[in-house]
């Protein structure tokens, strides 16, 4: 379980070093064994929040607890896998070589069996001996997900995992997340694409301008969305035809 408690993160900008909040007083509960979607427009604070959770940056105020450990404590990441927004690998290496390198860093025993299992799970096993510079965007994302799954982590933090993928790649990647959901992994992923919401999420958190607007189970949020959708003018053009997507879109629009 991940507990984000009253977290603020500011950066200093400009000549005078004026404080600017990227995240403001954020409290969030990421439940064990559930898939939580973290939605918001570009620049909302999603990646900043994720970087604080995985320990890449520290909160300016507040705290983050992961399985009882503070996010600044290395023990909080022992059972965690992380997929960054823009993964990159040495172009000349093969996938099998990359996986072996990270497995060695993590001190994973029986590396060959672990690597084979993960590459098959993510659907990239067929290309394990292909040099990475020959990979498509979707293949690179699969390889990065494979790295994050080494050691069979309980928690997966995925920053914009579906970004830049074509429709087929998006569908296949979402299927992988659904398979991981069946394995009772705790998954927290960010996205600005609202169509990702109902298909794979148990819970949705919505952030705009660094402030949390919603943090609810999908079933409860769907009730509010249906009520909202009943009251809007059906003759007017709506951005989305799905009630939940239109509801989330309007919340972001009102608070932009």
Same domain, 19 and 122: no
Question: Does 235 score more than 60 pLDDT?
Answer: no
Same domain, 8 and 106: no
Q: Which of 153, 176, 199 is the last residue of a domain?
A: 153
Same domain, 208 and 194: yes
Instruction: Decide: 198 and 33 in contact? Cβ < 8 Å.
Output: no
Same domain, 119 and 182: no
Query: What is the domain count for the chain?
Result: 2
Would you state the structure tokens that stand for residue 131, as one six-digit string? 């040099």
Same domain, 23 and 59: yes
- CATH classification at residue 4: 3.40.50.300
Q: Is residue 212 part of a domain?
A: yes
d(CA 162, CA 189): 10
Instruction: Decide: 222 and 244 in contact? Cβ < 8 Å.
Output: yes
Q: Which of 134, 153, 172 is the last residue of a domain?
A: 153
Q: Is residue 225 part of a domain?
A: no
Question: Which carries the bigger pLDDT value, residue 250 or residue 241?
Answer: 250
Same domain, 103 and 177: no
What's the pLDDT score for residue 71? 92
CB atoms near residue 86 (< 10 Å): 10
Same domain, 51 and 169: yes
Same domain, 207 and 171: yes
Backbone CA torsion sign across 6, 201, 116, 93: negative
Each residue's pLDDT tens digit, 48-98: 999 999 999 999 999 999 999 999 898 998 889 999 988 888 888 999 999
What's the pLDDT score for residue 144? 92
d(CA 175, CA 178): 5
Provide the pLDDT confidence category of residue 12 given band limits of 50, 70 and 90: confident
Same domain, 63 and 171: yes
Each residue's pLDDT tens digit, 87-99: 888 888 999 999 9
Residue 97: domain span: 87-153
- Indicate the pTM of the whole model: 0.90
- What residues does 63 pair with on adjacent strands? 5
Each residue's pLDDT tens digit, 135-193: 988 888 889 999 999 988 999 999 988 877 778 888 888 888 888 889 899 999 998 88
């Amino acid at each position: 379980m991940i507990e984000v408690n009253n977290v603020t993160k500011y950066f200093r900008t400009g000549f005078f070093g004026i404080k600017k909040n990227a995240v403001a007083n954020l409290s969030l509960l990421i439940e064990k064994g559930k898939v939580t979607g973290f939605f918001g427009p570009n620049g909302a604070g999603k990646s900043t929040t994720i970087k604080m959770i995985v320990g890449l940056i520290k909160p300016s105020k507040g705290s983050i607890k992961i399985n009882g450990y503070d996010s600044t404590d290395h023990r909080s990441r022992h059972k965690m896998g992380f997929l960054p927004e823009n993964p990159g690998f040495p172009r000349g290496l093969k996938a099998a070589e990359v996986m072996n390198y990270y497995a060695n860093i993590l001190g994973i025993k029986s590396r060959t069996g672990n690597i084979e299992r993960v590459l098959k799970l993510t659907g990239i096993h067929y290309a394990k001996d292909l040099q990475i510079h020959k990979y498509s965007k979707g293949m690179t994302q699969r390889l990065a997900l494979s790295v994050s799954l080494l050691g069979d982590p309980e928690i997966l933090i995925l920053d914009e995992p579906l970004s830049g993928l074509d429709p087929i790649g998006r569908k296949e990647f979402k299927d992988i997340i659904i398979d991981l959901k069946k394995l009772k992994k705790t998954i927290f992923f960010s996205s600005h694409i609202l169509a990702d919401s109902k298909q794979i999420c148990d819970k949705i958190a919505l952030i705009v301008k660094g402030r949390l607007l919603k943090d609810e189970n999908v079933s409860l949020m769907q009730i509010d969305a249906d009520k909202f959708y009943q009251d809007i003018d059906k003759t007017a053009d709506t951005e989305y035809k799905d009630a939940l997507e239109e509801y989330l879109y309007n919340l972001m629009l009102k608070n932009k």
